[in-house]
């Protein structure tokens, strides 16, 4: 049987460990007898349609330092896209013609809900035309909202970053003998996993956060003011964490500006913290600041969770082995078998389970008042932030992989 080539891409929002999954996949691919060449798509499926490809053998094969840099670098070495397949026969034919042109037998896509939908569509079309190409997804998202997996790669590092930031803000604000409020807005459009993880900051040496609000519980501005006043009666400095996706009892986003949506129909959010800041200024009148970590929570690798890095790498390996062994239309996944000591098992799951679905925080993991998380939530998240990554440094700064190729015009691939 002749060898086939492999192609891999990244899509959606970046994380601190998505390149770890890429490293795991290509490192495993180099060891497979059935795989000849490994291509990378520049800017995901959209780049593939334009034949913007990289020769990953030339960049990483037998280059352990480069592979280690890739494993510990944030964001996406191959670039991203927000391209939604149209589901048309012409588009499918174009993609499969390119797969044949480059002798691709294995297709991998690292991404979230929408990226897994791409894997689903292509694997179903392959079955329809009786193509032998294997399509496998590798999960990622800091939002931790993918179903079919215990936790998503990228979440543990985002949780660690947010908890660390909240603890440091708590230290900063505790030195003043004045009444003040700090609101920290986290990412999380439909699920409050990142916001809830801020509660880790309170374990040990800090009092904060004092209040946490998640999208899973309807937000009431009136109750919010009561909650804040109650905390101000106890503390000079109050720190509040809110998810960007908090919404009222009618399902309206507190932070939604108009009705702008992206290509996938998701409402583009911003401003929950600023809105609540204005509410406090009007109703309470004390010093208040709104802080938004923004992209830092998904691209800060120097404080990444080692557990997160290693699991992301392993999921890349699992995906490649699954495809080589004949699986298609699946994604690599993690099943937790124990909390203490923390243990997991790796496997695969049908991609239809995760495509376009959302996993939210269980209501029983949020307190009755809806303004904090429970011990069950903390038991779930604690193991995911463990471990210090050995990030390579050069001249005092993290020595991340070079991504300057993403900011210049990429030419079509030529042998």
Catalytic (active-site) positions: 143
Q: Give the pairing of strands 134-139 and 104-111.
A: parallel
Which residues, at least 6 apart from 163, have a Cβ–Cβ distance to it below 8 Å?
Answer: 197, 198, 199, 200, 201, 385
Place of tokens 């009705």: 259
Cβ partners under 8 Å of residue 87, min gap 6: 121
136 DSSP β-pair partners: 108, 330
Where are the alpha helices (H) located in 109-192, listed in sequence order? Answer: 113-129, 155-173
Give the residue from 177, 146, 161 showing the smallest Cα distance to 308: 161
- Helices and strands (H, E) in the chain, number of each type: 13, 15
User: Encoding tokens for residue 242?
Assistant: 């809110």
Closest CA to 78 of 117, 33, 39, 119: 39
Classify residue 207 by its DSSP letter.
Answer: -
CB atoms within 10 A of CB 346: 16
In 10 A of CB 7, how many CB atoms?
22
From 284, 288, 253, 259, select the one nearest 271 (Cα to Cα).
253
Strands 267-269 and 256-261: antiparallel
Which H or E run contains 181?
strand 180-186
The two structure tokens encoding residue 135: 């399509």
DSSP 71-128: HT--S-TT----------HHHHHHHHHHHHHTTEEEEEEEESHHHHHHHHHHHHHHHH
């Amino acid at each position: 049987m002749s060898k086939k080539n492999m192609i891999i891409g990244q899509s959606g929002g970046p994380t601190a460990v998505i390149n770890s999954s890429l490293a795991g996949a290509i490192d495993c691919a180099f060891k497979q007898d059935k795989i000849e060449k490994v291509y990378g798509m520049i800017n995901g499926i959209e780049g593939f349609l334009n034949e913007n490809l990289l020769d990953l053998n030339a960049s990483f094969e037998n280059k352990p330092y480069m592979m280690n840099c890739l494993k510990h670098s944030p964001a996406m070495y191959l670039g991203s896209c927000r391209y939604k397949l149209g589901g048309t026969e012409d588009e499918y034919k174009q993609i499969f013609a390119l797969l044949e042109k480059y002798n691709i037998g294995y297709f991998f896509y690292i991404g979230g809900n929408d990226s897994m939908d791409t894997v689903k569509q292509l694997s179903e079309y392959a079955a329809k035309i009786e193509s032998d190409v294997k399509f496998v997804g590798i999960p990622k998202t800091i939002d931790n909202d993918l179903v079919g997996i215990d936790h998503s790669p990228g979440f543990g590092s985002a949780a660690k970053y947010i908890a660390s930031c909240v603890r440091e803000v708590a230290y900063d604000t505790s030195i003043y003998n004045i009444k003040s409020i700090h609101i920290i807005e986290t990412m999380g459009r439909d699920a409050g996993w990142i916001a809830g993880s801020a509660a880790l900051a309170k374990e040990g040496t800090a009092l904060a956060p004092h209040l946490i609000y998640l999208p899973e519980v309807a937000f009431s501005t009136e109750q919010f003011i009561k909650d804040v006043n109650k905390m101000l009666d106890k503390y000079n400095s109050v720190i509040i964490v809110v998810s960007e996706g908090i919404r009222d009892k009618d399902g309206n986003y507190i932070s939604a500006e108009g009705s702008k949506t992206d290509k996938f129909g998701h409402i583009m959010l911003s401003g929950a913290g600023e809105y609540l800041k204005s509410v406090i200024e009007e109703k309470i009148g004390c010093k208040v600041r709104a802080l938004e970590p923004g992209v830092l929570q998904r691209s800060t690798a120097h404080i990444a969770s080692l557990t997160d890095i290693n699991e992301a790498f392993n999921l890349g390996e699992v995906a490649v082995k699954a495809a080589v062994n004949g699986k298609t239309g699946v994604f690599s996944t993690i099943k937790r078998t124990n909390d203490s000591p923390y243990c997991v098992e790796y496997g695969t799951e049908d991609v239809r389970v995760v495509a376009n679905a959302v996993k939210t925080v269980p209501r029983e993991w949020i307190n009755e008042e809806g303004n904090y998380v429970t011990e069950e939530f903390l038991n779930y998240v604690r193991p995911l932030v463990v471990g210090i990554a050995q990030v390579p440094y050069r001249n005092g700064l993290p020595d991340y992989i070079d991504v300057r190729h993403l900011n210049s015009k990429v030419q079509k691939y030529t042998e």
